[in-house]
Every structure is written in structure tokens, then in C-alpha cells.
Amino acid sequence: MGIVMKKIVLLATALAMVSGSAFAADMPLKAVKAPPPPAFDPWDVAFGSAIMNDYIFRGVTQSNHNPSVAAYFEPRYNVTKDLQLYVGSSFESISFANRAAAEVDIYGGIRPTFGAFAFDIGVWGYLYPGGTCYFGAPTDNAGKPLSAECQANFLMNGNAMKKDVSFMEVYGKVNYTINDNWAVGVNEYYSPNFLNSGAWGDYASVTAKYTAPGSVFGTSGVGMYISGEFGRQWLGTSDSFYGVPQFAGFPNYTRGIPYASYDTWNIGIGFTYKVFTLDLRYSDTDLNKGNCNAFTSAFNASGTTNVTSINPGGLGSNWCGAAGIVKLSADLTAMTSLK
């Protein structure tokens, strides 16, 4: 009888457990509250550095075809995911005819995005500290008195350059992303006093970029792109500092010379890995050596055969010719790269 009672008790217990489980399954479950989304942090900072064998700006070397280093720092404020405000500063080593050895850029603007269109509108200041005035005469070619520094210093080839060639530009850019691989862009820059020469400057260009699929290099993490740009730099007439004394058979440009506008283009291939980019690029212009000398006042210009209407002395400069550029850079942002 004891054994029978034990079996009955065990059976009742099992039935109670099954019944309890079924009852629990029929009860409505209390919803689990989803974790709150991460707080939107509008602030970010982009920064980076680069080393290159030549610093080319719109087809013209800024480093006398010698190596250059660069660095930048750019705080950003994202008003929304489609609207960014930014300011920044960058540094590049250069080699100018006035012996300025550094370019310091201060810039700021706004970047709105509308679907596949990304705009960038702002102001850019180019500062060139440490320059020396080179002219070597009491007055410029229009008879305007020059400073004691300008009078005392001269370049051996006869070129002249102001102590301060700093200037500013306003710009607008738009980039259209066609798909994951292709993007095209249009850029416009304007300065009322390009390189403090007295001449206005306007630069417009179109760009294209192809980004290879991530599978090209397997799981290595290496990316690849091909990009190019075609642009035109329009230039006005300089002030009398850069004027040219009248020569027989040449126009009277003592009050300033009409710089030659020119086309420039570049094409290259780049490889990316994490925050690093290796860019290999070819750059060129259609500016001849004589007009290049008149525009750049290159301290190493030479010769007498590169005669043009604005360069009657015939000096020639290779600062505007074909160049190959190898650039290694690292670019980071505080919100992503440093996490």
C-alpha cells in the first residue's frame, strides 16, 4: 500500500508541474524594454598628416619639386546627420621665391548633404609667413617707391617677389555619388587678389573617382581607387610690383602684367589600408616655361629663349610642368578611428 501511495503522489506532482507550465505559457509576457539608442554626439575632430615627394597646387609646384610634409586639424559640428559645420587649419612645407618655407591655411565652412549630393561651401585663407621682399631697385616699374627691404634684396636671375603673398579664396564644391563605386564632382574657387599679386584668380574643375569593390584584395583590408581632375585657372592682371619695363616690340606692362590663364590636370591611383593612403599621381599643365616664370617668379628660373609677351627677358621655369607625385598620408577622426 505504501508503494501505491508513493506512485499516486509522484503522478500528482508531475501533473501539477505540467499544468503549471502550461498555465505559465498562457500568461502574457511582460515586454522587455529596448535599450535607449546611443546619445547623438554632434562633435567630431578630423586630423592627419602626409609626406610627399612634391607639393603640387593646381599644377604648379610649391616646393621646388622637393619633398614636402603636411598636417591638418579640423574640428567639426554635426547639426544633423546631413548638415556639418567645420573649421580647420593645415600646414605644408614649401619653397617660394621670397624664401617663405611654410604655408599655413585657415579655413571654415558648411557641408550640407541632400541624398547623393554632398556640398561644401566655405572660405580658405593661405598664409605664407617668413617671406622676404626681393626687387633690388628704389621703385617698381611704374615708379612707385618700394620699402628699404625690397630695395636691398634681389634675386640673381632678376625676378622679384613680395614679402607677403598671403591671400584668401571663397569656394563651393559639390560631389555626386552615383553608386558604391563611382562619384563625380565640380569645384569652384575665387580670389580677388591671388597670391597678393593684385590679380584676381578663378579656378574651376571637374573630378571623377572610381572606388574598387572591397573584394578586389580579398580579406586583406586593402582598398583601391582611381581618380582624376581637369581644371582651369583664370588669372587677371597684376599690380605694378610685377610690372615689366617696356621692351622694343613688346607691350607696355609697367603697371602690371596680364597673367596667362592655363589648364591643369592630374590622374592617379591610390591604395588604402585602415587610416593610411598611398597615392601615386601624374600632374601637368599647358603653361609654357616663359609664362610660368612670369607667374611664379621662380628663384631658379634660367635661360633667355622662353620669350613671351609678359616674359620678354626669356627666363624659363619648370615649376609648372609635368610631375609625378607619391604621397603617403594618414587620416583619422576622433569619433571612429580612435574608438
pLDDT tens-digit map of 131-145 = 999 999 999 989 999
Q: What backbone torsions phi and psi does residue 87 show, to the nearest 5 degrees?
A: -135, 160
Global pTM reads 0.87
pLDDT at 151 over 90: yes
Instruction: Compute the distance between CA of residue 160 and CA of residue 150 in angstroms, rounded to an integer.
Output: 9
SS3 297: coil
Q: Domains in the chain, please, with CATH?
A: 39-333 (2.40.160.160)
Q: Which three cell numbers stand for residue 125?
A: 585663407
pLDDT at 302 over 70: yes
User: Tens of pLDDT along 211-221?
Assistant: 999 888 989 99
Instruction: Compute the distance between CA of residue 59 and CA of residue 287 in angstroms, rounded to an integer.
Output: 9
Ordered alpha helix ranges (H), the chain: 2-26, 148-152, 289-296
Instruction: Compute the distance between CA of residue 67 and CA of residue 56 in angstroms, rounded to an integer.
Output: 10
Q: Which helix (H) or strand (E) holds 127?
A: strand 117-127
pLDDT at 63 over 60: yes
Q: What share of the chain has pLDDT > 70, as a percent?
A: 88
pLDDT at 11 over 60: no
Instruction: Compute the distance between CA of residue 79 and CA of residue 257 in angstroms, rounded to an integer.
Output: 46
